[in-house]
Chains A and B, each alone.
Chain A
Amino acid sequence: MLQGSRASDHMTAKLSVPELENMANKLRLHVIEMTYAARSGHPGGSLSAADMMAALYFNFMRHDPSNPQWEDRDRFVLSKGHVAPVLYAALAEAGYFPVDDLLSLRQVGSMLQGHPVRGKVPGVEMSTGSLGQGLSMACGIALAGKMDGKDYKTICMLGDGELQEGQNWEAAMFARQAGLTNLIAIVDRNRLQITGDTEDAVGLEPLPEKWKAFGWNVIIIDGHNMRQVVEALEKAANAKSRPTVIIMKTVKGKGVSFMENNVGFHGRACKDDEYAKAVEELKAVIQ
């Protein structure tokens, strides 16, 4: 099994690759339903991240939904906080809170704020939503793990557009300097930001070379190939001398035909007819 030396009774059961693929589509369906109920939210980047989120919470991460504060848990920081819906969906499916609560997204009084809030939602480690800050926070958590002699991993998911924020590169330099081999960054490289193609806004390429130049291990995968996703995480977990970044090539809106590569769905929910079609498409592939 993955991470044999880190295995623990607290760990949730690991799903197989086909089961993870199915879970990813269940998360996608939740995202569509939640954002439709809220009449707002960010479905596009939630859908591109869904496969990785399924792999993290149902295969890779050492965590215990019945004990969110377990001190040996792996920590996940969602730097691209606007895709909170897919994080909430994963947490609910994992058992941190009832799945029924998901439809309270973005409602007054709900713990499910538009962007994740530490202390409000079981399983949410850090408050995020303003881009470019999660990797620094993850560095702090990973550094604390090293100081305390803990073997937990800290995983930080970043959007690709948010790499235009300079703070990420401050954090990337620091992680290398501090020897944070227990830190895994994941870049959801769906190539779209609100303006359009990242390369037309302020280009990120050559992105792997940038991370390499900052002293990181770089793993490039197809973020919708579950076997590659699982293997990349395993490889990252065994890094010996450097922090690791997984650049996963993804499709914004993945899983719903008319949302794929459609930047219009970055920050808006489905309308009634779109909702019906999206639900139909996703239900057709969910076992």
Chain B
Amino acid sequence: MTGEKLAQRNYYGKALAELATEKPNVVVMDADLAGSTKTSEFQKVCPERFVEVGIAEQNMIGIASGLAASGKIVFVSTFGVFATGRCWEQIRLGVAYPKLNVKIVATHCGISVGEDGASHQALEDMAIMRALPNMVVVAPADAYEAYAATRALAEYDGPAYMRMGRADFPTILPSDVRFEIGKASVLVEGTDVTIIGCGQMVSSCLEAAEQLKADGISAEVVNMSTIKPLDTDTLFRSVEKTGCCVTAEEHSILGGLGSAVAEALCDSKCVPLERIGTRDTFGESGKPEDLMVKYGLSTADIYEAAKKSISRKG
């Protein structure tokens, strides 16, 4: 079911390098991390429209705002904690409020950042970006979707945030996968429980669904790669069929995918919901796979949550 392991950021860099020649008004910015975020791929082919700001994220967003106000499509990148938290209010005033065409693309999100520890593990980024009016929030499921989403964001005129991980992780979608902002996709159809994931958790959701199948449980797996605006049509259609739901994200259960789904469900279609994510805590240093287990983000956790959600159906 899963393909080779690839890093999303490499495919982000690949898409940017293509955009360099296709779109003469694309500008890419970085804050001393171009080699890690892979914006260096754009820099290699288009140094004249690559802007290095040094270690100054607040300034980077302000400059991005001015560039976008002058007709540029601006991609800014750094690690997730710094891309969203360090300059949140600059994003609020300079990007979200005037609805400017700036794409904030973060790498190194989630606890699988690993050894660098909690200071570098973005677990709140989707929450604080989702809270901003006008902001689109995207978390692609694998490298191929990261590539497609990058190209889609370049076509979209407005503020957007995209989060990606650091590590190589399994590709689960076709290499030519299409991405449309605000559209979820049903990867596996099922009737007993809906499992909704985003980012690299989608591959774990698929694994959990396989295990449930062995137990005779039919799980539907949804890749909710846009967290805002949430594809409530796909969500409601699925839970009407299955009657219960699990969300899985490499992010706090406060404010991210789980919250977005909970808000949508309680507005119109209440069904049991179990949320997989970090539980109001910071991470720590360690091997990514060990941390995923310790913080309740493993395939086994999704499997258990699905059973619990089914048991709550009444």
Residues of A bordering B, CB below 8 Å: 77, 117-119, 125-130, 133-145, 147-148, 154, 166-167, 170-171, 173-174, 177-178
Could you say which residues of chain B place their CB within 8 Å of the CB of A154? Answer: 66
Beta-carbon nearest neighbor of A79 in chain B: B62
Q: Does B99 contact A (CB under 8 A)?
A: yes
Contact check, A126 vs B69: say whether CB atoms are below 8 A apart.
Answer: yes
What distance in Å separates the Cβ of B24 from its nearest Cβ neighbour in chain A? 10
What distance in Å separates the Cβ of B29 from its nearest Cβ neighbour in chain A? 9
Contact check, B98 vs A135: say whether CB atoms are below 8 A apart.
Answer: no
A119-B98, A136-B58, A140-B64 given. 8 additional CB < 8 A pairs?
Answer: A125-B69, A126-B65, A130-B93, A133-B94, A136-B59, A138-B66, A170-B59, A174-B53
The total of chain B residues at the interface (CB under 8 A) is 29
Q: From DSSP, what is the main secondary structure of chain A's interface residues?
A: helix
Given known A-B contacts A133-B94, A147-B49, A139 and B56 have beta carbons under 8 A apart: no
Contact check, B97 vs A117: say whether CB atoms are below 8 A apart.
Answer: yes
Q: Can you list 7 A-B contacts with CB-CB less than 8 angstroms, sorted by A residue number?
A: A77-B66, A117-B98, A143-B66, A147-B49, A147-B72, A174-B53, A174-B54
Beta-carbon nearest neighbor of A137 in chain B: B66
Could you say which residues of chain B place their CB within 8 Å of the CB of A147? Answer: 27, 48-49, 72
Could you say which residues of chain B place their CB within 8 Å of the CB of A166? Answer: 58
Q: Does B61 contact A (CB under 8 A)?
A: yes
Given known A-B contacts A117-B97, A127-B93, A174-B54, A136 and B67 have beta carbons under 8 A apart: no
A133→B61 CA distance, assembly (Å): 9
Contact check, A174 vs B56: say whether CB atoms are below 8 A apart.
Answer: yes
Pick the 6 closest A-B CB pairs, nearest first.
A140-B66, A136-B62, A144-B70, A170-B59, A140-B63, A170-B56
Could you say which residues of chain B place their CB within 8 Å of the CB of A130? Answer: 89, 93
Q: Does B71 contact A (CB under 8 A)?
A: yes
Beta-carbon nearest neighbor of B63 in chain A: A140
A127→B65 CA distance, assembly (Å): 10
A167→B98 CA distance, assembly (Å): 20
Q: Which of A129, A141, A142, A171 contacts B93 (CB 8 A)?
A: A129
Q: Which of B51, B56, B93 contacts A133 (CB 8 A)?
A: B93
A145→B66 CA distance, assembly (Å): 10
Contact check, B54 vs A144: say whether CB atoms are below 8 A apart.
Answer: no
Residues of B bordering A, CB below 8 Å: 27, 48-49, 51, 53-54, 56, 58-59, 61-72, 89-90, 93-94, 97-100
Contact check, B69 vs A137: say whether CB atoms are below 8 A apart.
Answer: yes
Most buried by A among B27, B48, B94: B94
What distance in Å separates the Cβ of A138 from its nearest Cβ neighbour in chain B? 6
What distance in Å separates the Cβ of B211 from its nearest Cβ neighbour in chain A? 50
Contact check, B99 vs A119: say whether CB atoms are below 8 A apart.
Answer: yes
Given known A-B contacts A147-B48, A174-B56, A141 and B69 have beta carbons under 8 A apart: yes
A60→B54 CA distance, assembly (Å): 33
What distance in Å separates the Cβ of A223 from its nearest Cβ neighbour in chain B? 25
Most buried by A among B48, B56, B71: B56
Contact check, B65 vs A136: say whether CB atoms are below 8 A apart.
Answer: yes
Could you say which residues of chain B place their CB within 8 Å of the CB of A171? Answer: 59, 62-63
Given known A-B contacts A130-B89, A174-B53, A174-B54, A140 and B62 have beta carbons under 8 A apart: yes
Given known A-B contacts A140-B65, A140-B70, A167 and B59 have beta carbons under 8 A apart: yes
Given known A-B contacts A136-B58, A167-B58, A171-B59, A144 and B66 have beta carbons under 8 A apart: yes
What distance in Å separates the Cβ of A177 from its nearest Cβ neighbour in chain B? 8
Q: Which of A117, A128, A143, A170 contacts B67 (CB 8 A)?
A: A143
Could you say which residues of chain B place their CB within 8 Å of the CB of A135? Answer: 62
Given known A-B contacts A129-B93, A147-B27, A139 and B99 have beta carbons under 8 A apart: no
A143→B99 CA distance, assembly (Å): 20
Q: Which of B59, B67, B89 contacts A141 (CB 8 A)?
A: B67
Could you say which residues of chain B place their CB within 8 Å of the CB of A144? Answer: 66-67, 70-72
What distance in Å separates the Cβ of B179 from its nearest Cβ neighbour in chain A? 28
A154→B65 CA distance, assembly (Å): 14
A138→B70 CA distance, assembly (Å): 10
Most buried by A among B53, B69, B89, B90: B69
A73→B89 CA distance, assembly (Å): 28
Contact check, A145 vs B90: say whether CB atoms are below 8 A apart.
Answer: no
A15→B97 CA distance, assembly (Å): 35
Contact check, A137 vs B63: say whether CB atoms are below 8 A apart.
Answer: yes
Beta-carbon nearest neighbor of A142 in chain B: B66
What distance in Å separates the Cβ of B98 from its nearest Cβ neighbour in chain A? 4
Contact check, B59 vs A174: say whether CB atoms are below 8 A apart.
Answer: yes
Contact check, B93 vs A174: say whether CB atoms are below 8 A apart.
Answer: no
A141→B59 CA distance, assembly (Å): 13
A276→B97 CA distance, assembly (Å): 37
Given known A-B contacts A130-B89, A140-B70, A141-B66, A170 and B58 have beta carbons under 8 A apart: yes
A142→B70 CA distance, assembly (Å): 9
Could you say which residues of chain B place their CB within 8 Å of the CB of A136? Answer: 58-59, 61-63, 65-66, 90, 94
